[in-house]
Amino acid sequence: MVVVKIAFILSVGLVGILAHKHQSKELDAKYNWWQHEVFYQIYPRSFQDSNGDGIGDLQGITSRLQYFKDTGITSVWLSPIYESPMVDFGYDISNYTNIQPEYGTLEDFDALIAKANELGVKVILDFVPNHSSNKHPWFIKSVAREPGYEDFYVWEDGILLENGTRVPPNNWLSVFSGSAWMWNDERQQYYLRQFTYGQPDLNYRNPAVIKAMDDVMLFWLNKGIAGFRIDAIIYIYEDAQLRDEPPSGTTDDPNNEAYLSHIYTRNQPEDYGLLQHWRQLLDNYTANHDGPLRIMMTEGYASVSQLMEYYEDSNGVQGPQFPFNFDFITELNANSTAADFVFYISRWLIYMPHGHVANWVMGNHDNPRVASRFGEKSVDAMNMLLMTLPGIGITYNGEELGMTDYRDISWSDTVDQPACEAGIDNYKTISRDPERTPMQWSSDVNAGFSSADRTWLPVNPNYKELNLRNQQQARRSHYKIYQSLLKLRQLPVLKNGSFVPEVVNRRVFAFKRELKNEHTLLTIVNVSNRTELVDIADFIEQPNRLSVLVAGVDSQHRVGDRLKAETIELAPNEGLVIQLNKRK
């Protein structure tokens, strides 16, 4: 009953205890490896092109794996690399167990894993269970009502009005605007799609669908991956009675998804059960194979209490190792006060069920970049937060350089489907292209991303100055700071230390990380655009000497500088990581 044992160990939070009780290194590697990781998100299309077609690919990623080793990154997660018509750039999958030809082959993937293993980098894949592509053979067979596939997707007749017109079965809306129901002429029914027209929702009330997706997971696990990032999990089940959703009262636009309160299409009770099933599958796999604990992390924008249920339900049954915490994206921005930061950071830690691990997502391919959300001056401070808060950090590619959104992408260069559907007058406000532009490696042609005449999305013209090579050569740079923070994370105080926050004033907050017999670390951030002089003597145990461990690129402070707790000067948006040395 190894499986049960593992589930039990995990459910009572013994993993943490094991860690503290000198267990063997293998156990540590198997169970705890993920608890303090920084997971680096690679957007494959924009990371590195190896064959000059202007599109990133697997060989490109493999050629850059050494970069992770040099930087100190030991885990990456890849946005989808599977066969896809690319309506939603890989989130519309037409073959779950093959590689998109533009990206390479299964052999390229094996080579990527082999090289990653050699360098000690774990690979997590995106798993997109909610919907396939409308070009997937399952959908084509379902349209044709082929036996075994009739109910693979969510099909409905709709309502026939007295005047003879047919309308969708209810008022549900797509996340990307308009009705969630699309008419299919051949089958003479509506299919549910919560994203683009090319992403029909799979029907998880059909056991054959669950079986098919389990097989997909096993296929990739057998290829040597360390787990999955699970896409769009909150959309996986919908109300079986198809009840209309009530208006939310937040917008007058009936096509905008915010028009409705999504009580019947998101976070349905069955979602949790499905995740628990996958958790079992992964735990089972780990129990029967060598290698690390295979983990899962889930994507879902939901309320904090709903998200906490994903960690574990009220009976303590375990779900994913962690649901992504998007508070730095959804709740905090350039106008947030110090209290807002302390509030949202603490909220996650307070709500999180006992024995679980926090995580902080700073960015992704669906939202504006850190420099564009918080301001370019905030890049280092945000990375300091990511790296010194308790738990797991998640970095989107390019954030270690402080890459910025390229907001001036023209209408003709726009490729993000919802932006294309929004039209020339509205595309800019919703397009996700600006944060997906190619990685800026150097000042060479196309930022060193590709040798093509034209890349799939334009390279941000600021690459001439803002690129990795420049930052590697500079005395101080965002990249070097990021790298030093990753090193710092190895300190036991950052792995296991307690967290004590303080709102210093409206514009400045700080937190201490404390651990017995270790120096306390303090992170302090000025979230405003004016210089602040603060006195934090009350907050730190006296007598102490303060020395700077990490300072931002523009800081007047230098690593090793001594500070006085009574007079710490912080430039606009400056962050510092400080060591408190007890006086002997």
- Which structure tokens are listed for 198? 């090319």
Catalytic: 312? no
CB 153 within 8 A of CB 200: yes
**49, 201, 271, 299: which one is catalytic?**
299
Return the number of the residue (201 or 340) whose C-beta is nearest ligand NOJ: 201
d(CA 237, CA 36): 32
Return the number of the residue (285 or 324) whose C-beta is nearest ligand NOJ: 324
How many other C-beta atoms are found inside a 10 Å radius of the C-beta of residue 215? 11
Return the number of the residue (216 or 468) whose C-beta is nearest ligand NOJ: 216
- Of the candidates 6, 22, 24, which has an alpha carbon nearest to the alpha carbon of residue 14? 6
Smallest distance from ligand NOJ to CB 418, Å: 8
φ, ψ dihedrals at 449, nearest 5°: -80, -35
Smallest distance from ligand NOJ to CB 76, Å: 16
d(CA 539, CA 546): 13
Return the number of the residue (194 or 555) whose C-beta is nearest ligand NOJ: 194
Return the number of the residue (78 or 293) whose C-beta is nearest ligand NOJ: 78
Burial of 107-132, coded b for 16+ CB within 10 Å and e otherwise, reads ebbeebbeebeeeebbbbbbbbbbbb
Catalytic: 299? yes
Q: By beta-carbon distance, which residue lies closest to ligand NOJ? A: 91
d(CA 397, CA 388): 19
Smallest distance from ligand NOJ to CB 128, Å: 6
Smallest distance from ligand NOJ to CB 299, Å: 6
In terms of DSSP H, where are the helices of 227-337? 269-288, 304-311, 327-330
Return the number of the residue (363 or 402) whose C-beta is nearest ligand NOJ: 363
Write out the E strands in 158-248: 159-160, 166-167, 181-184, 189-192, 227-230
Return the number of the residue (193 or 513) whose C-beta is nearest ligand NOJ: 193
- Of the candidates 80, 250, 109, which has an alpha carbon nearest to the alpha carbon of residue 173? 250
- Which structure tokens are listed for 183? 């008419």
d(CA 172, CA 1): 44
- Which structure tokens are listed for 53? 């077609």
Run of H or E residues at 342: helix 338-351
Smallest distance from ligand NOJ to CB 229, Å: 9
Run of H or E residues at 40: strand 38-42
**Burial degree of 469 (CB within 10 A; 0-12, 13-18, 19+):** middle
**92, 108, 126, 231: which one is catalytic?**
231
Task: Give contact residues for ligand NOJ (rule: CB under 6 A).
Answer: 88, 91, 128, 195, 231-232, 299, 365-366
Return the number of the residue (298 or 528) whose C-beta is nearest ligand NOJ: 298
Residue indicated by tokens 């303080």: 502
Q: Side chain identity at 270, as an amino acid letter?
A: E
Smallest distance from ligand NOJ to CB 42, Å: 13
Identify how many contiguous H helices and E strands the chain contains and give both numbers. Answer: 19, 23
Please give the positions annotated as active site: 231, 299
